[in-house]
């Protein structure tokens, strides 16, 4: 019975240990990358959730009509990029071209109210009163912290929304024809239009992403009910 290692066994052991030690930084690096990727995905999900939260509110504060109790289409006629949205002549109640002439369907307000201009988004905010609309969130940054389940990582991020009007002009054709093409843009329009863009920028440690969504001035229809 021997009481010592042979030289060959010792050399093999040293080689094996060297390989293990050499691969350990690679394993740690890959683990760190996987964790960073998971945190980035959480940041994306948080950004999407925030956009969805904003989209749940009315398109504009002026869209809600107290008399009827639901959201109407706002009159953008005469402002930038809205020549295609003329009110149907002698329509009572007022409707646009393409609106269904039936009760409880989408139409304009009786007083032909207009949307809130971009310059008044913050000044006309109803956020503190608990009745916000989409543009009340313009520039309202929110700081949140994403924490991994096992607390291996903590990622503080800042979500900053920007709300602005973008052009509603079709690329080809017009809204009075059956065929047209449309391209969503990110550039701010020169005035009030029928499309608001919600742009959410999320920043943090190695995080800088931007997601966008669009909301349109279409009002709502009252659900039909059967009565006996």
Per-residue pLDDT tens for 168-194? 888 887 776 667 788 888 998 878 888
Residue 213 has pLDDT above 90, yes or no: yes
Residue 1 has pLDDT above 60, yes or no: no
Work out the burial of residue 144: count CB atoms within 10 Å of its CB; fewer than 13 is exposed, 13-18 middle, 19 or more buried: middle
* pLDDT the model gives residue 84: 47
DSSP state, residue 152: S
- The Cα 183–Cα 154 span in angstroms is 39
The answer, yes or no, to whether the previous bond of 129 is cis (omega within 30 of 0) is: no
Residue 161 has pLDDT above 80, yes or no: yes
Residue tagged 């690096």 (tokens): 29
Give the residues across from 197 on adjacent strands. 164, 214
Residue range 66-92, pLDDT digits in tens: 887 888 888 887 543 444 455 665 567
- The Cα 44–Cα 201 span in angstroms is 10
- The Cα 120–Cα 138 span in angstroms is 10
Residue 108 has pLDDT above 70, yes or no: yes
Residue 227 has pLDDT above 50, yes or no: yes
- The Cα 50–Cα 180 span in angstroms is 32
Mean pLDDT of the chain: 80
- The Cα 30–Cα 13 span in angstroms is 26
Give backbone dihedrals phi and psi of 153, rounded to 5 degrees, phi first.
-145, 145
The more confidently predicted of residues 85 and 94 is: 94
* Residue ranges per structural domain of the chain: 49-216
Cβ atoms of residues 113 and 75 within 8 Å:
yes
Residue range 32-64, pLDDT digits in tens: 666 677 788 888 999 999 999 999 999 998 988
Cβ atoms within 10 Å of 159's Cβ, excluding its own: 21
* pLDDT the model gives residue 80: 38
Cβ atoms of residues 157 and 210 within 8 Å:
no
H/E segment holding residue 66? none
* pLDDT the model gives residue 78: 58
Cβ atoms within 10 Å of 109's Cβ, excluding its own: 21
In terms of average pLDDT, the best of 20-24, 141-145, 222-226 is 141-145
């Amino acid at each position: 019975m021997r009481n010592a290692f042979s030289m060959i066994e010792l050399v093999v052991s040293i080689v094996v240990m060297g390989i293990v030690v050499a691969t350990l930084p690679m394993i740690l690096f890959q683990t760190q990358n996987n964790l960073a990727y998971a945190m980035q995905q959480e940041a994306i999900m948080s950004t999407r959730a925030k956009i969805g939260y904003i989209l749940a509110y009315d398109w504009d504060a002026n869209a809600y009509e107290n008399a009827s109790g639901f959201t109407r289409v706002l009159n953008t006629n005469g402002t930038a990029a809205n020549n295609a949205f003329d009110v149907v002549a002698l329509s009572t109640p007022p409707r646009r071209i393409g609106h269904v002439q039936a009760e409880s369907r989408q139409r304009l307000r009786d007083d032909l109210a207009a949307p809130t201009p971009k310059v008044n988004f913050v000044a006309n905010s109803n956020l503190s009163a608990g009745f916000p609309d989409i543009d009340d969130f313009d520039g309202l940054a929110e700081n949140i912290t994403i924490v991994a389940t096992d607390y291996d990582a903590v990622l503080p991020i800042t979500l900053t929304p920007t709300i602005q009007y973008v052009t509603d002009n079709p690329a080809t054709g017009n809204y009075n024809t059956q065929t047209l093409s449309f391209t969503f843009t990110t550039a701010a329009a020169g005035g009030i239009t029928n499309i608001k863009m919600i742009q959410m920028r999320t920043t943090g440690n190695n995080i800088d992403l931007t997601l966008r969504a669009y909301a349109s001035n279409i009002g709502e229809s009252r659900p039909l009910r059967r009565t006996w």
